[in-house]
């Protein structure tokens, strides 16, 4: 599935000399009041893709962790989509398979049908169209945020999941995908995370901890990227998040890698099933 998203690249802003003003604003705790304003978003093409199960052992990503809250009143459950990911057009390498079933994924036969008259020789089945129509609010990209510090690039993609009633008030949920890429020559290891989460209700929460999702990944030349997903909830329909990752190079040098600030914006939804445990 082809998607369009606004990419806010803070590397371009830094080149124009605005990094110092951003750092000052972050220190005062209100940098996110202007998220997306100091950086001009540009439209980029992304693709919603299925991951071949044969590649799963070699992918440093949580291929099983793509979750969202369904909007069906009859269901009210937490969905998990195995082997689903989002890939930027710039990261696509053209490839043509000669296999009739080129991709091993449990949803491939349900979603696509072989048609030798097409190029590529596959067409969408009605089940795919119906699935996309029903779930598109929870699957579509909105904004993508990117920033590089000391040769480590962090890309953040937030997704609104839905809301539910809790003690006479609504709780809003988001998931966010974090991708770290080492663009330098020396290996670096992620040691700590430091998040700040601001809610429109007026609360500011700080989260610190070792590693991410129970891991302290090493980004080296042979395996320069790591990707994971997590969740966050707010008692307000919108908010912001930003922070840093403490990184350590193989020579012992440590530095804080900035996580670009990003907005958490809700959408109108119909139902509100149970939500997962938050984990920044």
168 falls in which pLDDT band (50, 70, 90)?
Answer: confident
Share of the chain above pLDDT 70, in %: 77
Q: What contacts 184, CB < 8 A, 6 or more positions away? A: 150, 151, 152
Region of poorest pLDDT, from 32-41, 102-111, 151-160, 189-198: 32-41
DSSP state of 200: T
The token pair at 138 is: 């929870």
133 falls in which pLDDT band (50, 70, 90)?
Answer: confident
Q: pLDDT tens for residues 188-203? A: 999 999 999 999 989 9
Region of poorest pLDDT, from 5-14, 30-39, 59-68, 271-280: 271-280
pLDDT value at residue 219: 96
22 falls in which pLDDT band (50, 70, 90)?
Answer: very low
Higher per-residue pLDDT: 267 or 14? 267
pLDDT value at residue 67: 59
pLDDT at 239 over 50: yes
245 falls in which pLDDT band (50, 70, 90)?
Answer: very high
Q: How far is CA 76 from CA 79, 138, 275, in A?
A: 9, 14, 10
Q: 164 and 275 in contact (C-beta within 8 Å)?
A: yes
pLDDT value at residue 269: 57
212 Rama sector, left if φ>0, alpha if ψ -120 to 50, beta otherwise: beta
Select from 18, 49, 50 the least CA-distant residue to 34: 18
The token pair at 204 is: 């500011």
**DSSP states along 3-15:** EEEEEEEHHHHHH
pLDDT value at residue 277: 40
Query: How many Cα atoms occupy the beta-carbon half-sphere of 113 within 13 Å?
Result: 9
CB count in 10 Å sphere of residue 46:
22
Q: pLDDT tens for residues 43-98? A: 889 888 888 888 877 776 655 445 556 554 444 456 667 778 888 888 888 887 77
CB count in 10 Å sphere of residue 5:
19
State mean pLDDT over 22-26: 42
State mean pLDDT over 136-162: 88
Region of poorest pLDDT, from 98-102, 127-131, 274-278: 274-278
Q: How many helices (H) and strands (E) does the chain have?
A: 4, 16
Q: How far is CA 227 from CA 66, 216, 218, in A?
A: 12, 12, 12
pLDDT value at residue 212: 94
Select from 167, 137, 163, 151 the least CA-distant residue to 255: 151
Give CA–CA dist 220/2, Å, rounded.
Answer: 31
Higher per-residue pLDDT: 77 or 41? 41
State mean pLDDT over 2-20: 71
pLDDT value at residue 199: 95
């Amino acid at each position: 599935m082809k998607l369009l998203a606004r990419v806010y690249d803070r590397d371009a802003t830094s080149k124009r000399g605005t990094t110092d003003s951003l750092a000052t604003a972050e220190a005062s705790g209100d940098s996110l009041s202007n998220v997306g304003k100091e950086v001009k978003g540009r439209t980029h093409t992304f693709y919603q893709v299925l991951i071949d199960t044969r590649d799963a052992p070699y992918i440093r990503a949580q291929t099983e962790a793509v979750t969202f809250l369904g909007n069906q009143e009859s269901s009210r459950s937490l969905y998990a989509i195995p082997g689903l990911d989002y890939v930027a057009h710039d990261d696509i390498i053209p490839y043509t398979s000669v296999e009739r079933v080129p991709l091993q994924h449990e949803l491939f036969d349900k979603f696509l049908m072989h048609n030798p008259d097409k190029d590529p020789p596959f067409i969408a089945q009605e089940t795919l169209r119906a699935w996309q129509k029903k779930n598109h609010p929870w699957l579509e990209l909105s904004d993508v945020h990117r920033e590089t510090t000391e040769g480590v690039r962090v890309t953040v993609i937030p997704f609104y999941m839905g809301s539910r009633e809790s003690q006479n008030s609504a709780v809003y949920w988001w998931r966010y995908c974090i991708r770290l890429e080492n663009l330098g020559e020396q290996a670096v290891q992620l040691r700590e995370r430091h998040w700040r989460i601001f809610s429109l209700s007026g609360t500011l929460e700080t989260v610190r901890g070792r590693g991410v999702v129970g891991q302290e990944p090493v980004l080296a030349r042979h395996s320069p990227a790591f990707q994971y997903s997590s969740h966050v909830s707010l008692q307000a329909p919108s908010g912001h998040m930003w922070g840093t990752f403490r990184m350590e190079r193989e020579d012992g040098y440590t530095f804080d890698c900035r996580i670009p600030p990003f907005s958490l914006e809700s959408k109108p939804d119909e139902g509100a099933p149970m939500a997962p445990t938050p984990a920044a």
